[in-house]
Structure 1
Amino acid sequence: MKKIMLVVTTVVLLAIFVYEGSLAFFHAQTDISAKISAGNLGIELVQDMDKEKITKTENGFQIRSSMPGDEIKDRVYVENKKDHSLYTRVAVTKYWVNKDNEKMVDADASKIKLITEDTSKWIIIDDADNSNSEIVYFYYKLPLEKGGKTTNLVDAIKISHEIKNGEYADYRIHIAYDADAIQSIAGAEAALSEWGVELSVDEEGSITSVVD
């Protein structure tokens, strides 16, 4: 199999891959998307790319000698910037688009892999039945205190090794991270109102289950 050159362009938290024949170009544009659901709650999405594998160029960042099946380090987490304890979730949307940036509804979004090394503090829900695996929800189990940071919800993005040369030629991969937060006080009620889900919370305030 020929090696693939990946090219990354960064703005701040939206990632786009391109897979084209025997060459693949990896474009990562970051665009913070953090919604505040109550009062002066504030969160920030933070991205940390692997600088050892990425070389800065005048057009952004470039990764060389990667192939389908390789993992591209792209660590993403949430930080609480305000004074209140909160619960946070991140919706990650991923799908294929063509050269004109039109969504390819028949392309298999499950071949875009999100790698989470430590899943112990996240409830991860792949909305496969309703979204063809396009939307994955990450609920952080613990209340996030002032200045607190979550563990990484994503550590890497992987293009499935099942993709063969030419199968997704001229297609791009669109990935967007969208985080929001609710106050942890009366969190179950806030989650039902803001997120439309039922949370079960234990005596220590940790989320134990999420029901849509």
Structure 2
Amino acid sequence: MSDTEDAKASGKKKKGKGKLLVMVLGLLVLGGAGGGGYFAWSSGMLGGGAHGTEGNGPRLVPKREQKRVSASGEGGGHGEEGGGAGSKPPSGSGGEKYASNYYAMEKEFTSNLQDSVHFIQVGLAISTPYDDSVIENIKTNEIAVRSAILMTLGDTTEEQVFTSDGKKLLERRLAKSINDTLKEKEGFGGVGNVYFTNFVVQ
């Protein structure tokens, strides 16, 4: 084979490798863009990202997002405080970063107090900064949640139910017992606060 034939053969090989390299790079770029789009889509759908939890858990609802939903007339599970959807809080005012999603439990709770002849009857509502999946988890596991609440009420003393500080402590204990139950059953709690809608001691 002459030098000219060797040069032609090596030139063809280089052109073939160049085309192959361009095709492979093109596929990688397209695949990367498509994969990135899929990742962004799946993160949004699964509640990932800055305002979500890992995997497919509940998603935090920022107040600005809640106000957009309220203004468009969609949704309705999230409580909104203050003025209308377009109003902004005054500069320097506090407030929470995430929206509060409220749920009032339908039936009241009645329990004896610890080492006492008195009993307590309370109505409860919970709030969560997460989407409706936390409330759905409470509804799904209502029997276990109610049992945990009754156990917590039964471990409460008279001294705790007759003072404001005691009642606030009881609210925190109830929130913890609900979260512990949800973590056991669903792998995630999500309850931020518990509120009394009715409170009677007899």
Give the TM-score of the pair, scaled to structure 2: 0.21
Give the TM-score of the pair, scaled to structure 1: 0.20
Is the strand fraction higher in 1 or 2? Answer: 1
Larger-Rg structure = 2
